[in-house]
């Protein structure tokens, strides 16, 4: 009887052998299909960058985080609520295996190799045909760093380079203290209206030193991609009519992580103290004896109209501006807003969280004296590439918003200052 031959192991691909260093290249993904398998925290970090690059992203995952769910419907992102299938690679230029199932990730890498599609594997980076570097950006300069298999080193060097570029110094590249070293407690940081460049210098510096980041849906999501791999991200996203992390649970996370000796950054959209419940989080920290600091942010109520070319005040037009929450309709028993009194004002009204109740708000303002012909602007996704402005009058604003398919987040500006937009529209700066 002939001897049974020994099985011959499959050769290890050259790109997986570790014999060669990865070749860094910038991918132009605008309009090109990118497959993302998995909708967890890693996908949450990677998706904003892919969308900012204009990629046509297909996301396949049975479940996604609340923040990822909030991105669905944004330009270029489609979510199919199911597991990965090999046919998902059809037409793809790039793929990311980000599931929590190692077998699924391995299969995706194999399928991508057969289809000649470069693929990143999050749970075993050396086994993918591509590697995600630690990335950052300062103005037009983009930085990508590979740490030779040490992602924390890559993140530290990246942070050092970006911070040096931001502060105009190039003599301390890559030198930063370890996350949280010497930093106590909690920092409640306002992230600004959405564009990551509009966070304060102090807020970004503290974010770079965080051990834990508790981020909500309106915080600048692309900032999360700059965090080191050892940073814990807690998703505190609050989707309209969707899943919500109770405020008490958020407070508990801040206190618990800080009492463990970790430096916690609570990253919020806009300003923490303008309809942001930041004062409740500060109070919880103080009550628990946790050191806490507040880093103000640019509130979207002021920044978004300004970026759209609408001044809240203008000589001879408006000498007052009032910021109002529209999350409760006029007449709701829990509402603290005196709508009849606001109707008598001649200046600017800025309404937050008011898209769904715009018709009822307009009706009560008109009923109590505000002219129906008052100009109105509804600004969606302010400060982002997807910003869109819908203009109308107070009487027609709700119908115009509905016809345009306006969705939150959006800022509503009521007042004659809306007419200044054409002359005040800012010029784009590099």
Cβ atoms within 10 A of the Cβ of 197, count?
12
pLDDT of residue 172: 40
314, 277: one domain: no
- In the predicted structure, residue 173 carries a pLDDT above the cut 70: no
Q: Are strands 232-235 and 141-145 parallel, antiparallel or unpaired?
A: unpaired
Give 274-331 as a DSSP string: SSS-HHHHHHHHHHTT--EEEE----HHHHHHHHTT--S-BTTTBS-EEEEE-SS-TT
Mean pLDDT of 134-149: 81
Q: Is residue 142 part of a domain?
A: no
Mean pLDDT of 337-351: 97
15-40 pLDDT, tens digit each: 555 557 888 888 999 999 999 999 99
pLDDT of residue 429: 44
Structural domain ending residue among the three candidates 75, 103, 132? 132
Among 56, 88, 195, 216, the active-site one is 216
Query: Rounded to an integer, what distance in angstroms lies between the CA atom of residue 398 and that of residue 349?
Result: 16
Q: Is residue 347 part of a domain?
A: yes
175-225 pLDDT, tens digit each: 444 555 557 899 999 999 999 999 998 999 899 899 999 998 889 988 998
Identify the CATH number of the domain in which residue 57 sits. 3.40.50.720
pLDDT of residue 385: 87
Identify the CATH number of the domain in which residue 282 sits. 3.40.1010.10
Q: Are strands 348-352 and 321-325 parallel, antiparallel or unpaired?
A: parallel
Is the CB of residue 381 less than 8 Å from the CB of residue 221? Answer: no
User: The tokens of 266 are what?
Assistant: 């609570």
Is the CB of residue 47 less than 8 Å from the CB of residue 77? Answer: yes
* Helices vs. strands in the chain: H and E counts, helices first: 12, 17
Please indicate whether residue 240 or residue 407 has the higher confidence score (pLDDT).
407
This prediction's pTM: 0.78
Is the CB of residue 307 less than 8 Å from the CB of residue 193? Answer: yes
184, 269: one domain: yes
pLDDT bin (cut points 50, 70, 90) of residue 126 is: confident
- In the predicted structure, residue 240 carries a pLDDT above the cut 70: no
pLDDT of residue 134: 84
* Nearest alpha carbon to residue 45 among 120, 109, 150: 120
Q: b/e string for 387-406 if b means 16 or more Cβ within 10 A? A: bbbbbbbbbebbebbeeeeb
Q: How far is CA 422 from CA 338, 372, 405, in A?
A: 32, 21, 23
Q: How far is CA 233 from CA 126, 168, 341, 381, in A?
A: 24, 29, 43, 23
Q: Are strands 212-215 and 134-138 parallel, antiparallel or unpaired?
A: unpaired
401-414 pLDDT, tens digit each: 999 999 999 999 99
* Nearest alpha carbon to residue 26 among 173, 130, 114: 130
83, 26: one domain: yes
- In the predicted structure, residue 277 carries a pLDDT above the cut 90: yes
pLDDT of residue 232: 94
Q: Is residue 140 part of a domain?
A: no
pLDDT of residue 346: 94
Query: Rounded to an integer, what distance in angstroms lies between the CA atom of residue 231 and that of residue 218?
Result: 20
User: The tokens of 199 are what?
Assistant: 């966070």
Cβ atoms within 10 A of the Cβ of 322, count?
17
Among 88, 211, 238, 268, the active-site one is 238
235, 311: one domain: no
356, 314: one domain: yes
User: The tokens of 37 are what?
Assistant: 């398998």
Q: Is residue 253 part of a domain?
A: yes
Is the sign of the CA dihedral 333, 336, 340, 343 positive or negative? Answer: negative
Tell me the percentage of the chain whose pLDDT exceeds 90.
67
Query: Rounded to an integer, what distance in angstroms lies between the CA atom of residue 196 and that of residue 216?
Result: 14
Identify the CATH number of the domain in which residue 376 sits. 3.30.950.10
Q: How far is CA 2 from CA 5, 6, 207, in A?
A: 9, 12, 67
pLDDT of residue 171: 39
Q: Is residue 1 part of a domain?
A: no
Query: Rounded to an integer, what distance in angstroms lies between the CA atom of residue 205 and that of residue 198?
Result: 13
pLDDT of residue 338: 97
37, 116: one domain: yes
Is the CB of residue 59 less than 8 Å from the CB of residue 77? Answer: yes
Structural domains of the chain, count? 3
Q: Is residue 293 part of a domain?
A: yes
Mean per-residue pLDDT of the chain: 88
93, 112: one domain: yes
Is the CB of residue 305 less than 8 Å from the CB of residue 413? Answer: yes
Query: Rounded to an integer, what distance in angstroms lies between the CA atom of residue 298 and that of residue 304?
Result: 9
- In the predicted structure, residue 427 carries a pLDDT above the cut 70: no
Query: Rounded to an integer, what distance in angstroms lies between the CA atom of residue 210 and that of residue 233?
Result: 10
306, 234: one domain: no
Q: Outline where DSSP puts E strands in 122-263.
A: 134-138, 141-145, 186-190, 212-215, 232-235
376, 280: one domain: no
Domain of residue 381 covers 301-424
Phi-psi region of 322 (alpha: psi -120 to 50; beta: other; left: phi over 0): beta
pLDDT bin (cut points 50, 70, 90) of residue 8 is: very low
Q: Is residue 287 part of a domain?
A: yes
324, 409: one domain: yes
367, 291: one domain: no
In the annotation, is 238 catalytic?
Answer: yes
Please indicate whether residue 417 or residue 216 has the higher confidence score (pLDDT).
417
Distance in angstroms between the alpha carbons of the first and the last residue of the chain: 77
Tell me the percentage of the chain whose pLDDT exceeds 70.
87
Is the CB of residue 34 less than 8 Å from the CB of residue 117? Answer: no
278, 341: one domain: no
Q: Is residue 6 part of a domain?
A: no
Is the sign of the CA dihedral 241, 398, 51, 264 positive or negative? Answer: negative
- In the predicted structure, residue 265 carries a pLDDT above the cut 70: yes
- In the predicted structure, residue 249 carries a pLDDT above the cut 60: yes
3-class DSSP assignment, residue 74: coil
Lowest mean pLDDT among 71-75, 191-195, 348-352: 71-75
């Amino acid at each position: 009887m002939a001897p049974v031959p020994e099985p011959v192991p499959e050769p290890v691909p050259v790109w997986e052998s570790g014999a060669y260093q990865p070749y860094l290249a910038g991918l132009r993904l605008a309009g090109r299909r990118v497959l993302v398998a998995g909708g967890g925290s890693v996908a949450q970090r990677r998706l904003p960058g892919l969308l900012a690059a204009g990629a046509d992203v297909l996301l396949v995952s049975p479940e996604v985080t609340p923040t990822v769910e909030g991105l669905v419907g944004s330009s270029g992102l489609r979510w199919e609520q199911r597991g990965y299938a090999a046919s998902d690679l059809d037409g793809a230029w790039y793929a990311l295996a980000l599931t929590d199932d190692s077998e699924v990730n391995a299969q995706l890498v194999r399928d991508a190799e057969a289809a000649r599609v470069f693929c990143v594997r999050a749970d075993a980076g050396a086994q993918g045909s591509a590697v995600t570097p630690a990335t950052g950006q300062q103005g037009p300069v983009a930085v990508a760093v590979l740490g030779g298999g040490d992602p924390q080193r890559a993140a530290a060097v990246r942070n050092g380079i970006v911070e040096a570029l931001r502060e105009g110094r190039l003599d301390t590249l890559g030198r930063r203290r370890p996350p949280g070293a010497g930093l106590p407690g909690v920092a409640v940081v306002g992230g600004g209206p959405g564009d990551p460049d509009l966070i304060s210098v102090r807020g970004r510096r503290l974010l770079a030193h965080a051990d834990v980041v508790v981020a909500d849906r309106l915080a600048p999501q692309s900032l999360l991609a700059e965090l080191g791999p050892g940073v814990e991200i807690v998703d505190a996203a609050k989707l309209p009519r969707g899943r919500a992390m109770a405020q008490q649970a958020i407070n508990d996370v801040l206190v618990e992580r800080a009492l463990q000796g970790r430096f916690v950054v609570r990253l919020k959209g806009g300003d923490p103290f303008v309809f942001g419940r930041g004062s409740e989080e500060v109070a919880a920290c103080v009550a628990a004896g946790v050191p806490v600091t507040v880093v103000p942010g640019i509130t979207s109520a002021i920044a978004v109209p300004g970026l759209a070319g609408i001044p809240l005040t203008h000589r001879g037009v408006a000498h007052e501006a009032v910021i109002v929450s529209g999350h409760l309709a006029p007449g709701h028993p829990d509402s603290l807003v005196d709508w009849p009194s606001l109707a008598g004002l001649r200046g600017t009204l800025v309404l937050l969280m008011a898209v769904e109740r715009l018709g009822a708000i307009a009706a009560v303002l008109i009923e109590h004296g505000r002219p129906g012909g008052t100009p109105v602007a509804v600004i969606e996704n302010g400060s982002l590439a997807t910003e869109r402005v819908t203009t109308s009058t107070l009487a027609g604003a709700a119908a115009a918003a509905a016809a345009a398919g306006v969705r939150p987040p959006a800022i509503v500006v009521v007042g004659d200052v809306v007419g200044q937009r054409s002359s005040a529209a800012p010029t784009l700066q590099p």
